Chains A and B, each alone.
Chain A
Amino acid sequence: MTNSIEAVALGKRYRRRWALQDCTVAIPAGRVVGLVGANGAGKTTLMHLIVGLLRPSAGAVTVLGGRPGEGPDQLARVGFLAQDAPLYGTLNVGDHLRLGRHLNPGWDEAAASSRIDGLGFDLRQRAGQLSGGQRAQLALTLAVAKRPELLLLDEPVAGLDPLARREFLQSLMESVAEHHLTVVLSSHLLGDVERVCDYLIVLAAGRVQLAGDVNELLATHRVLTGPRRDPRSLPGDIEVIEEAHTERQSTLIVRTETPIVDPAWTVTELGLEDLVLAYLGQSAAAARPPTSPLNANEGPT
């Protein structure tokens, strides 16, 4: 089994609105996958489909070879940290650990207590009184001590201050290294994704725009700057993701497997953030009525 998650034409509809549509994606095992997209892009929906909280309206998704949420064994193999780290406000920290112990046959008590000790939790403190960072850490402890093979985290650091964010990601990476987890982490903070993820999926408007190994993506994407010209005149193996033109100059973001040899272009590398924004911009442009390609400064801002 080389893929942890395989989705084929997966879709989820709420009444008339499609929250996720025609999502075909394979997420390899043993990777730390960043799931990136704007708010409302369908990240949470996709995660809920993978853990079995939701059922697909169209298509299918296979998780670790099984159907999501189908039986206790399947549930035991997938850990989930939902958005805003839901915890029971009136239960204290110790109660939550006990909850994890009672509801998970594979519960790793040693891992849980060492994490809780290391984080300096007071077991008698109510979850409702914890800070955002502590909530996220406690929720992560529950998800990790369950000893899943696949761990999904939905915007785990969205509400945290920079320090708590760094500590959270650090302890996440320690757990990943220790337990050989496959991780899918959704975020709209591209810096965090760049720091911890080695595989990237870009979701926009309920569809997958881009999926691939981060290094591979960075190696195959380039920024071309040169005298103004029509991008359609480029060789066929170069795919234009984004274009911006001034009166004299064209700036293109392209995907290509082969090196750019045309001396007219200045070729520079592309950061992950710009890469993601280019694909998000592309999907936004696709949603707008078409305009002429040489039509003023259309591009990222």
Chain B
Amino acid sequence: MIWLTWRQFRVQILVAIGAFVVLGAVLGYTGPHLVHLYHDSGIRECQASRGDCGPLVDSFTSHYPWWHGLGPLITVIPGLIGVFWGAPLLARELETGTYRLAWTQSVTRTRWLATKVLIIGVATIVTAAAFTVIVALWLSPLDTVNANRFSPGAFSQHGIVPIVYAAFAFALGVAVGAVLRRLVAAMAVTLVVFTLVRLVIQQWVRQHFATPIHVISALFGGGSNAVGPNAWVVSSRVVDRTNHTVAIHRDSLRSTCGLPEGEFSRDALRACAQRLGLHQILTVQPANRYWPFQAWEAAIFAVLAVLLTGFTFWWTRHRIT
């Protein structure tokens, strides 16, 4: 069974290894240079002296503009695994009829499935971990500078969650393939369901892992100064002196204050807002909750992956009959 799994899976695994080697070569070649640039940029000294480091940061982050693509790459890898490794596992056998060959050898279909799920499942975890680690290592100077690792996008591209997403996507692909029995349909449904689950948890569920704290800060005073680096500002609202929420944005504030059109000075706006008694209340998940949140999210996807795998075994034994 191990040999057969390898023989049927080797193209996919070689594609993954090839992609990893190429990416690893590029990152390995440019990574030390990026670290060097960071040390020479003077950002650390600037931040230590609490000055305005904006220009330094902008200059540093513009050296390798393609770094913006690395996070999205980590975002799509689990989806690719679900579509190209998970969905075909049963759907292709059922669609082409080869399950009639595979399941009439002297190996029970439960063992057949267990071997495949185990081997390709482990490959999934190793692959996702390998890509996540090399990208995170390479990005670490930029992450330090950007100080936004808790923001929804960055959170999903770092730490342990990308690995668990991949396991979930794989389990989802296998289960969908078992039920639909059509390869292309299974691939499409896997991608759509995976994206939806990821999106729902990222946008609406994650913020409830712990009760957020509220931070009062001046309008246009720079929210991140009030909450510190790497905190997650979930939402914010503007309130007046009586603590009532007011609907106001930059343009309406500008006209209320009588500031000229095209006036972008944050200081002028901040001064005016202070005069009017306006300030903002930020809903915040502090930076020290980053790892507990990683654990929560990983646990949710791990449980989903386990449930889906259990379902696939049950379905294969009792319903594909």
- B-contacting residues of A (Cβ < 8 Å)? 48, 51-55, 69, 71-73, 75-76, 78-80, 82-84, 86-89, 91, 95, 98-100, 102-106, 139, 142, 146
CA of A52 to CA of B99 in the docked complex: distance in angstroms? Answer: 12
Contacts of B107 in A (CB 8 A): 72, 75, 103
| Interface pairs A-B: 7 shortest CB-CB | A103-B105, A82-B100, A76-B106, A80-B104, A55-B321, A86-B97, A104-B106
User: Which of B100, B106, B318, B321 is within 8 Å of A72, CB to CB?
Assistant: B106
Q: Once the chains bind, are A88 and B106 in contact (CB under 8 Å)?
A: no
Q: Are B106 and A86 in contact (CB under 8 A)?
A: no
Residues of B within 8 A of A99 (CB): 4, 7, 105
**B 128-166 binary contact with A (CB < 8 Å = 1; else 0):** 000000000000000000000000000000000000000
Chain A residue at minimal CB-CB distance from B101: A86
Which of A55, A71, A83, A100 sits near B105, CB closer than 8 Å? A100
Given contacts A54-B321, A102-B3, A103-B1, contact A84 B97 (CB under 8 A): yes
Residues on the B chain within 8 Å of A142, using CB: 101
Contacts of A75 in B (CB 8 A): 104-108
Q: How far is the CB of B309 from chain A (nearest CB, A)?
A: 22
Contact partner of B96 among A53, A80, A86, A98, CB < 8 A?
Answer: A86
B245 within 8 A of A: no
Q: A99-B7, A100-B105, A103-B4 are in contact. List 11 more A-B contacts (CB 8 A).
A: A69-B108, A72-B106, A87-B98, A87-B101, A91-B7, A95-B7, A98-B3, A99-B105, A102-B3, A103-B105, A103-B106
Tell me which residues across on chain A come within 8 A of B7, comparing CB atoms. Answer: 91, 95, 98-99
Taking CB atoms, residues of chain A closer than 8 Å to B243 are none
B315 sits at the interface (CB 8 A):
no
Give me 7 A-to-B residue pairs in the complex whose CB atoms sit less than 8 angstroms apart, sorted by A's number: A72-B106, A72-B107, A76-B106, A82-B101, A86-B97, A142-B101, A146-B105
* Contact assessment for A88 and B104 in the assembled complex, using a CB-CB cutoff below 8 Å: no
Q: Mask for B64-100, Cβ within 8 A of A = 1, else 0?
A: 0000000000000000000000000000000011111
- Could you give, for residues 98-125 of chain B, a 1 whenever the CB lies within 8 Å of some chain A CB and a 0 otherwise? 1111011111110100000000000000
Chain A residues within an 8 Å CB radius of B104: 51-53, 75, 78-80, 82
Flag whether B256 is at the interface (Cβ < 8 A).
no
Most buried by A among B96, B105, B108: B105
Chain A residues within an 8 Å CB radius of B105: 75, 99-100, 103-104, 146
Given A54-B321, A75-B108, A146-B106, decide whether A80 and B100 contact each other with a Cβ distance below 8 A: yes
In the complex, A98→B3 CA distance in Å?
Answer: 9
Bound complex: CA A98 to CA B8 (Å): 13
Closest A residue, CB atoms, query B97: A86
Q: Give how many A-B residue pairs fall within 8 Å (CB-CB).
A: 73
Q: Tell me, in angstroms, the Cα distance from A125 to B318 when the chains sit together.
A: 36
Q: Which of B1, B96, B104 has the most CB of A within 10 A?
A: B104
A98 to B107, CA, bound (A): 14
Which residues of the partner chain A approach B111 to less than 8 Å between Cβ atoms? 72
How many angstroms from the CA of A146 to the CA of B104 in the assembled complex? 10
Complex alpha-carbon distance, A24 and B318, angstroms: 24
Q: Is the CB of B106 within 8 A of A102?
A: no
Closest to A89 in B: B96
Residues B101 and A139 in contact, CB atoms below 8 Å apart: yes
Closest A residue to B321 by CB, please name it: A55
| Alpha-carbon separation in the docked complex, A293 to B3 (Å) | 64
Residues 1-38 of B contacting A (Cβ, < 8 Å):
1, 3-4, 7-8
Chain B residues within 8 Å of A105, by CB: 106
A71 to B108, CA, bound (A): 6
Q: How far is the CB of B87 from chain A (nearest CB, A)?
A: 17
Q: Nearest-CB distance from A192 to chain B (Å)? A: 21
Residue in chain B with minimal CB distance to A106? B106
By a CB distance below 8 angstroms, the chain B residues around A95 are 7
| From B1, B3, B97, B108, contact of A82 by CB (8 A) | B97
Q: Are B1 and A88 in contact (CB under 8 A)?
A: no
- The residues of B that contact A78 with a CB separation of less than 8 Å are 104
With the chains together, A82 CA to B98 CA distance in Å?
9
Tell me whether A53 and B321 are in contact (CB under 8 A). Answer: yes
- Nearest A residue to B2 via CB reads A102
| Distance in angstroms between the alpha carbons of A100 and B1 in the assembled complex | 10
Q: A86-B96, A98-B3 are in contact. Are A53 and B101 (CB under 8 A)?
A: no
Q: How far is the CA of A146 from the CA of B105 in the complex (A)?
A: 8
